[in-house]
Amino acid sequence: MRGLAARGLSIGYGGVAIARGVDLSIQQGEITCLLGPNGVGKTTLFKTLLGLLPALGGAVTVDGVDISRMRRADIARVIAYVPQSHPPDFAYTVRDLVVMGRTAGLGAFKTPGRADIEAASRALDTLGVANLADRDATRISGGQLQLALIARALAQEATVIVMDEPTASLDIANRVLVLETVRSLAERGHAVVMSTHEPEHAFAVAHFVAALGPQNHFVAGPVEEVLTDEELSRLYGVDLRVERAPSGRVVVGPREKKGSAPPVI
């Protein structure tokens, strides 16, 4: 089965490691959530998984091949990156924004052709936003733009999709929409890894979770096994509790102290 893996991975900058011993496997049809407080190296881990930063130890492999031995174009054919939603610098149409996902398959000095435009149209249609194709990408909502960025990754036709906080700054309706889209990507056979600051998202959509914390703390495994009260409290340095509502929905929040109301978060 195709996918992305890290084995004994050390990550950092300038030869200084900020995390060591990262073991991670992201396979087709599975969703992995990356959790951790600010500043522990989640972005650095993503950059290393994408081949943008060299590993300081261990290895990242794509379909069993060490990523350090792959050309950027070959990596882009397997791994697509979805950044946090932010307005483009130029007033591209949504269609043009999505077509940019096809550049990995184009040679030097070539322009997108009919097949590339058709692939972009299929991706927009798959995500239910084909009606946005001719809209100015700087004048659509944050949720619509996030879906357009995911469509760009789909148009890239990569197996692995790496998402950096895809629900950040979105309202609740758009968060639900994006999470449903993430689930559908796995059902379509993609391997998905997404970072989030919301442990509830891992319980809602993920098969596995990777938790990166201070002092070289790293643990990965099935969501229910990893995200215990103890692990979440250790990870964030706050006394947290996992509660399951009668509906089955999981809520994570501060443990209520005796004789006091729970804090508002």
Q: Does residue 237 sit within a domain? A: no
Query: 220 phi and psi, to 5 degrees?
Result: -140, 150
Q: Identify the pLDDT of residue 248.
A: 84
User: What pLDDT is stored for residue 258 in this prediction?
Assistant: 62
Virtual torsion, Cα 56, 58, 60, 63, nearest 10 deg: 160
The total number of structural domains in the chain stands at 1
Range of the domain at 48: 3-227
Q: Does 163 fall in a domain?
A: yes
Give Dmax (Cα) for the chain: 69
Q: Tell me the average pLDDT of the chain.
A: 89
260: in domain: no
Provide, rounded to the nearest whole percent, the portion of the chain with pLDDT above 70.
93
Backbone angles phi, psi at 34, to 5 degrees: -100, 120
**What pLDDT does residue 16 have?**
87
- Whether 261 is covered by a domain: the verdict is no
Identify the CATH number of the domain in which residue 108 sits.
3.40.50.300
Residue 233 lies in a domain: no
The pLDDT value given to residue 36:
94
Q: What are 98-120's pLDDT values in tens digits?
A: 999 888 766 555 677 888 999 99
Q: Tell me whether residue 30 is in a domain.
A: yes
Rounded mean pLDDT, 171-176: 87
Interval 1-36: pLDDT, tens? 568 999 999 999 888 888 999 999 999 999 999 999
Sorted by sequence, the CB contacts under 8 Å of residue 111 that are 6+ apart come out as none
In this prediction, residue 211 has a pLDDT band, given cuts at 50, 70 and 90, of: very high
In a domain, 62, yes or no: yes
Q: Is residue 125 part of a domain?
A: yes
Query: Which residue matches tokens 């995390």?
Result: 19
Closest by Cα among 98, 181, 176, 159 to 132? 98
